[in-house]
Structure 1
């Protein structure tokens, strides 16, 4: 699970750099090129800003769900011995912990990368989000193409 630790450190270091190195505040933007900006956004929900939580109860509920998901994936990863599954699980865990740490410290997740082209703006994300998506892609790859998917009840 060293990948999880590496991702957690990279995620927190990037957020520290944005918040304290560049000093970006909510809504502030630095244009990097015609397709990418650094845009500071506090996300009080989950992916794509869904399920916004503006109360302490909601915040701590998301912290609990995040930690429970990381523990469940860690247990699952220890039962599956394929390389890609373990790496994918570690990426999901590292990213999940990175965003959970934000919720504990700041009350929301710090997102800051904005990709866009031809007046289409994708959602604003961070290193943890990239790790989670890449991890799920590896988990799906492993389950579909490497044969680690669970057996069906009829034994096939």
Structure 2
């Protein structure tokens, strides 16, 4: 994956997540209004002021600091990997991770919380209580791809 292709994919992924977040913010109430659009998936608006699973939300400023540091580390890893030839799977993974990290960090800076909107529509109470966004999926999938492509040229 070339630098320009990765840049275009990055911009597209970031734009999609931010556009969906804006749509959710404009069209959903935060009181856990839920709409099933896809079987098994609930769309709802939830402002996550903490980190993963709303952890550390009562620690003022910590989620933003962690997001900024994490995004900086990811960016440095990107620079190192993208300067190397090959490693396409690793580069694809880092592109996903970077888009997700920047999207969520942008939310923390601009809104004070990350806009989550994807929920599980099932009977399991714990799973049903979780809410994520596309950026979260980008990060998880990107980490898996980067690990699979680690060391491969």
The reply to whether TM is greater than 0.5 is yes
Q: 115, 126, 130: which one pairs with 2:133?
A: 126
Question: TM (normalized to structure 1)?
Answer: 0.79
Give the equivalent residue in structure 1 for 2:24. 18
Residues 33/14 of structure 1: CA separation in 2 closer, same or farther (3 Å cut) = closer
Q: Distance in 2 between matches of 1:4 and 1:79?
A: 17
Give the equivalent residue in structure 2 for 1:8. 14
The RMSD of aligned alpha carbons is: 2.2
Give the equivalent residue in structure 1 for 2:3. none
Q: Distance in 2 between matches of 1:88 and 1:130?
A: 12
Question: TM (normalized to structure 2)?
Answer: 0.81
Aligned residues: 144
Deviation at 1:59, TM superposition (A): 4.5
For residue 117 of structure 1, give the secondary structure of its aligned residue in structure 2.
coil
Give the equivalent residue in structure 2 for 1:76. 80
Matched, 1:39 2:25: no
Matched, 1:86 2:91: yes
Q: Distance in 1 between matches of 2:58 and 2:70?
A: 14
Return 5+ residue gaps in structure 1 as ranges.
150-156
Deviation at 1:113, TM superposition (A): 0.5
Return 5+ residue gaps in structure 2 as ranges.
1-5
Matched, 1:108 2:108: no
Residues 138/33 of structure 1: CA separation in 2 closer, same or farther (3 Å cut) = closer
Q: Which of structures 1 and 2 has the bigger CA Rg? A: 1
Deviation track 1:88-142 (CA, whole Å, cap 9, x = no partner) reads 0000000100001100111010001001323342521101011111101101211
